[in-house]
Chains A and B, each alone.
Chain A
Amino acid sequence: MDLKKMLSKKMSISLILLLFGCLPIIAQTINVEGKVTDIKGEELPGVSVSLKGTTSGTMTDAGGLYNFSVPKTDQPVLVFTYMGYKTKEITLINTQTKYDVVLEETSKYLDEVVVVAYGVQKKANLTGAVSSLRVDDIKDIPVSNTSSLLQGRMSGVTVSSFSAQPGKDSDVEIRIRGIGTFGNSNPLVLIDGVEGSLSSVAPNDIESISVLKDAASAAIYGVRAANGVILVTTKRGTGANKLSYSGTFGVQSATVLPEFLDSWQWATLFNEQNNALGGDAPNRNYTPEMINALKTGSDKQHFANTNWMKEIFRTAPIQNHYLSATGGGQNSNYLASLGYMKQDGIMKGTDTERINFRLNADSKYLNMVTFGMNTAGSYQKTGEPLGGTWSIFNQIIDQTRPTIPVKYDNGKWGQYDGNPNFPLYQSNPVELTTMSSQQNTYKFDGKVYLDIEPIKNLHFKTSFAYQYNQANYSAFEPTHNHYKSDGSYITSGVASLEEQKAQQQQWINENIVTYNLDLEKIHSFGFLVGQSSQYNGNKTSNAKGEGFLSNDIHVMNAAKTTSATGWEEEATLRSFFGRVNYSYYNRYLAEVNLRRDESSRIPKKNRVGYFPSVSAGWNIAEESFLQKQSTIDALKLRVSWGKLGNQDIGFYPFAQTYNLGLDNYIWGNNKISGAALASAANPDIKWETTTTTDIGLDAVFAKNKLSLTFDYFNKVSSDILLQLPVSALIGVDEAPYVNAAEVKNTGWEISLGYNDKWNDFSFGANLNFSHVKNEITSVSGRKDWINDWTINLAGNPIGSYYGYVADGLYTTQEQIDNAPVGIGNPRIGDIRYLDISGPDGVPDGEITDKDRTIIGNPFPKITYSLNLTAGYKHFDFSAFFQGIGNVDRIVMDYPSIGGGATKEIWSRYNASENPDGTYPSLGNSTYNALPSSFWIKSASYLRLKNLEIGYSLPSSILSKARVQGLRVFISAQNLITFTGIKNYDPEKYAADSRNWTYPNAKTFSVGLNINL
């Protein structure tokens, strides 16, 4: 689609309109001043003081004092607003120039405003399930990826931080109310209304985050919303000019590293394994002399004791700096910010560095036209070892022996040990961390909008947003020299260079009309209609060069041969949407939404989708029979129902395609660009649809001290698009998509809050608890599909662990003799699999595929968190605990000896050495490593995620230095973890059976916030 064509048609008129600049109003002024305090008489600094109906205003200083030149108008009204306090309006009297004001704290629940789809709404009037988060409270936690800040903060939102690798944003996964699709389950993230990723916004730039959890609140986003919606609102300037700085500096180390055996133990087990394997394997054994050398360290060049995991990890710094300038004048306001983040990874060879900026500005003309813009950009540089960190871990776990020294005495990297019967080099993991690939990411986000209010409460809002991301990847793999301790070496590999450029573009144009109507404070209506068009395009090109003359020249031109590939994809979406809210005395609430989507990703005949929702609320506390008591401050019952869609299934999921350049061939000396059928067509596919019903209750008790939110939900995703495996006779690499499955997520969430204050001491506690049950309710076409360790089977959660049921180990010959026949040849010390079924569904005396069953659950059913906060005079304190329950992981210290071996393996069964061993004996790894419950462990954990103590300098000191606020703090992340998992971080990926993912980090940091 031609961008230009679309734009010229759409935007030209609005741009012309922008030129309707207006002359500023010039008028006389009067000077007023005063002091703002709270009920206890404490001065409130930073209170916004403005003239009603204008953007003209100022702020109170550290002593709560203000001084304001008020333009002369008919009936001037001063408005005092302050976060967490009730807004107060004072009508100025002609003769008076001094006004002292006392602000009352708000009842959090009744007056809190939350961001919802295309607007804001009082929490009291919400009828959908929305969680919101004020980022101010957590923005100082040092992270490189904003997503990880959300972990545990909101009920129903499961955030898994699978690794702490710098720059690997996808390692932090967000799931809202379970998993409802087999494809992409990531929620829609809208940053000021524009699709983006959380990791590209600096936490300090964020004003608030809302999560739309049910269909009623998200239906207006239609086909993009099935996985839930996260709305991020960035800050805008207000009041007097203000300059702020915040910074943190921290040191990180791995939460947990595997404990490996010493090399002599490793060699002993290696021999045991060889002896069990038989054949020629024992000829590779380590002799008793060698094992002695490993034990005593007498010949470290040839018989070392290296813990490779320890060698590649380190304590590494992380720093964040953020500088912002905000302010607002009579007609306009602005926020300009600059952020810098640098993180060295806890593993050598990994790091990231990012610089980002933002400029948000608004300007108002004629009291009815607002023009605004958001611009943000960032540059991020990320380095990791060639082949990814996975390849280093794999090298340590599976290949490189602990008997090899990190370096020989001659200074060369160790690659051989002294065992002459294994004369092959083994790559040195520490050396591999010195060869890295680089990714440079450039992001630009821009949005302009125009809001016209021609008559009161009627808004016409049009916006255009454009986003451009580019990622350049470059990796040079040198030829490798494999040294022996005597300095001799051989060379392997071909020097090669890989360069990739990936470019993403997005634009979205939205046009919305809203109108609010209040009829005598009894009936109040809100109307919204809108239209939007969206374009997404991706383009990637990849070049590879091989055969470089030396390892020092890294340009494509120096390659002996080069090859290149590239591809491109585009998608468009056009939508119309509308909403009506109604409230009767704020007591009975109702809302209806409807969205109509058309997406290029769906074939023409099924292209139009309608996504409706209805919801209702009853503010029981507003009823007369509850007016006379004072225990219950608020009580609201909510019910909602709605439908959402999912289009995130690739760009052309329905098309039959011939791919070009798929399998090239050679005729003569020429390359024939091979074309071939790549994917089969299914012109009948339609949207995935998710239908959610939600019943909720909000309550506030005891003078706003205690609050409760409870939700029950039932979410059914149907017509889930799957690539069911097809017959090889079709000849395609990619099976066609079919609408084939249905998944149900049901659960409940509860949030409990308590806040209180006694003189100088304040205390707060927030508890979140969510339970979600995931179940595949039907899979048409076939019964199940199994992928190694996992199965998708109707009646069970998505991706359940699947395998044999293990009943300890065989311990006697008698057991072996009476063992069921079938797979493998178990010996004493091997895992005992149970014969639980057979072809007829009953045990048949054989261990076969039929004896496999569900043995674990990879997605946590329970997530919970507890946030404790306290304040005493100028000190503040917070402790944040987060945990998950009812979840499993594969923990397989493999019963074979390749590279490093964890201490668990030492307790293996061995007839002579360790006859009481509880761990499978060595030498029968294909049998013992079959997926079985032996290797499934509960991965529940409770973590002290964040601990922070801060001190704010008293304003009496600060005011002398003309500083409005200064706070210093220390914090620690992931300080303590309670879990049954040893050797690994419990938050690892569901498919990671050993140590293939980067662990999480424990961080200690200090920080500073200053406001000028």
Chain B
Amino acid sequence: MKRIKIQLVTLIIGLGFILPSCSDFLDQENPSSASSGSYWNNKQEAEAMLGGCYGVLQQQGLYFNYYNGADPRALDGFGTTDGSSGWWFWSPADNALSWGQLSPSQELVEVVWDACYKGIARCNEIILYVPQMGPDKIEQADADRIVGEAKFLRAFFYNYLTSLYRDVPLSTEPTSTGYISKSSKADVVQFITEDLKKVVESDALPDKISAEERGRADKGAAWALLCRIYLYNQKWAEAASAAQKVIDLGYNLEDNYLKLFSEAGNNSQEVLFAVRFSATIDGTENKMRGFLSTRNNENYYTPITVTGDLLNEYYDKNGKTLSKTSFTSEELLDPANRDPRWGYNFIGIEETWKSDDWINWYQVLSGHINKYQDYTVTEKFYDDQDYYVIRYADVLLMRAEALANSSGSQSEIEGLINQVRDRASVRMPHVTAAEISEAGGILNVVKHERRVELAFEGHRYFDLKRWGEYNKLSEYAYVGEAKSQVWPIPQKELDNNKALTQAPEWGGE
């Protein structure tokens, strides 16, 4: 009897187990992430995606410096006559530029390419999907603003790409293969400037953002970026008028030049757009710090040496070039006798001069970068310093340059330069006719002013390229003039993207 009962129970259990389990057992959603189908439900989600676009600015290839940066300041330091590589350092920029290893398979050309296109792909997601969300999920004004910022960033990434690689694929919506052939630089520029102009002429972006939103792009930033793109592409009239739009919005220079490049300068109204870095908020070390701005007291431990070439660019305090100065070379080493920005931007000049006699044989005068630095502390990378991308002095000088190239009013150009020189903590003499003639034209005075005002902020490498002054680039000595004009497309990209061809200078068709 018992035996039969157990057989019966066994049979029942057997059936129960053999029957298929509930059907959703095999459909596992990833609890750690979402997909485009399940995303885009509200403003917060759209803003998080925008945060991911901004986040690309902090990555290697863009404004990430840290131990092995390839950021614009590293390009200035390793890639131009402003800086020289003091010792072999494991940085993509150092290897490629100062040691002559620029090539399609070099890391530098890869990381910059990858970072920019990663940013573009992320912006494309927003630009496609946010307008589809509809009013029940996001208010129109919020959607417009988010899309406007994505277009701002996309224009920024494309400008960075075309400035270095010239002709690049123009990807404007999400792609699953990436197989897009190259567009000419002019076409890319036309697309992004028209795109951004529409944004900035609409009400998508606020004129100026409040301190609570510091880090987001506003109209001032967008006009300034437009100005930069126009200027980089010799569209002088458009550049000048975009700069004027910024000026009309009302900005001022920060009185204290040194304070500007400290944490206290983050909130300065001179800063139009900055990449945000904050150890306090992120809870990690500040990644704009690194070997370029070590922020420690260890004897200016940085692989970049400021060259005599740059140090000698700075006038004496009377506004005289070093060939016309009345000061002795000894006196010129005293910052009190120089353009004050000489002392603000550099450090350790005297010391090098006196103690290390072995340096004489290749460098008469050298120094170390003081911009963004704080040599008095030991908490190396632990601070909240932002990395300024566009500041007002740059905008003034961009307008000056645009006017100088398009026969603009001489007095306005001088006025713009003088405005930069009039900063309370600088107070350098105004532009004179003698200065212009010695420089060989007002345009060269603008170039001088850019070099001394914006030293080691990540502009010089791009300035030299667009001015065609290739022989002042470090790579020039290794790869020659043709290859100095344009970076190669990364070999990795060519291997993985059937639609692309290499730049002619680098062996392409």
Contacts and interface: CB of A to CB of B under 8 A. Distances in A.
Interface of A: 1, 5-6, 9-10, 13-14, 17, 20, 279-281, 283, 366, 368-369, 423-424, 452, 454-455, 460, 462, 490-494, 511, 513, 531, 533, 544-547, 560-563, 566-572, 574, 598-600, 604, 607, 651-652, 655-660, 662-678, 680-681, 724-733, 782, 849
A672 B497 CA distance: 33
Given A668-B214, A733-B118, 13 more contacts: A6-B25, A368-B3, A460-B13, A547-B379, A560-B280, A658-B36, A658-B49, A665-B54, A665-B58, A667-B214, A680-B176, A728-B118, A729-B169
Contact of A546 (B58, B214, B279, B299): B279
B277 to A, nearest CB: 8
Contact of B282 (A664, A681, A730): A664
A279 B18 CA distance: 79
A560 B45 CA distance: 29
Contacts of A569: 30-32
Point out which of A452, A568, A663, A729 has the most chain B C-beta atoms below 10 A from its C-beta: A729
B180 A729 contact: yes
20 contacts: A10-B16, A13-B13, A452-B6, A462-B17, A546-B382, A547-B379, A547-B382, A561-B280, A561-B282, A598-B26, A652-B30, A658-B36, A665-B58, A666-B278, A668-B212, A672-B47, A673-B48, A680-B176, A681-B35, A731-B121
Interface string B33-45: 1111001000001
A561 B118 contact: no
Interface string B169-187: 1010011111110000000
A531 B379 CA distance: 60
A652 B179 CA distance: 25
Interface in B354-372: 356, 358-359, 362
B19 to A, nearest CB: 9
Interface residues of B, number: 100
B283 A424 contact: no
A728 B492 CA distance: 9
Given A658-B36, A658-B49, A369 B30 contact: no
Contact of A731 (B31, B117, B180, B213): B117
B281 A669 contact: yes
B17 A368 contact: no
A546 B3 CA distance: 68
A678 B117 CA distance: 14
B24 interface: yes
A61 B59 CA distance: 74
Contacts of B296: 492
Interface string B211-237: 111111000000000000000000000
A14 B359 CA distance: 85
A71 to B, nearest CB: 20
Contact of B36 (A20, A562, A656, A659): A656
A5 B296 CA distance: 59
Contacts, number: 265
Contact of B178 (A452, A563, A729, A733): A729
A887 B2 CA distance: 65
Q: Which 8 pairs across A and B sit closest by C-beta, in order of nearness?
A: A731-B121, A663-B55, A727-B178, A563-B283, A729-B178, A676-B52, A672-B51, A674-B51
B35 A658 contact: yes
Given A20-B6, A462-B17, A665-B215, A655 B30 contact: yes
Nearest to B37: A656
A493 B30 contact: no
Contact of A460 (B14, B113, B169): B14
Nearest to A559: B283
A6 to B, nearest CB: 7
A494 B285 CA distance: 9
Interface in B79-99: 86-87
Contact of A366 (B2, B24, B213, B299): B2
Contacts of B50: 672
B51 A494 contact: no
A918 B463 CA distance: 49
B298 interface: yes
Interface in B323-366: 356, 358-359, 362
Contacts of B58: 663, 665
A672 B54 contact: yes
B483 interface: no
A671 B283 CA distance: 10
Contacts of B51: 663-665, 667, 672-675
A272 B3 CA distance: 91
A465 B380 CA distance: 51
B478 to A, nearest CB: 12
Nearest to A566: B32
A93 B20 CA distance: 54
B450 interface: no
B3 A729 contact: no
B496 to A, nearest CB: 5
Nearest to A782: B495
A725 B283 CA distance: 32
A490 B378 contact: yes
Given A369-B6, A572-B25, A727 B282 contact: no
A725 B177 CA distance: 11
B433 interface: no
B12 A658 contact: no
A653 B55 CA distance: 25
Interface in B287-315: 296-299, 301
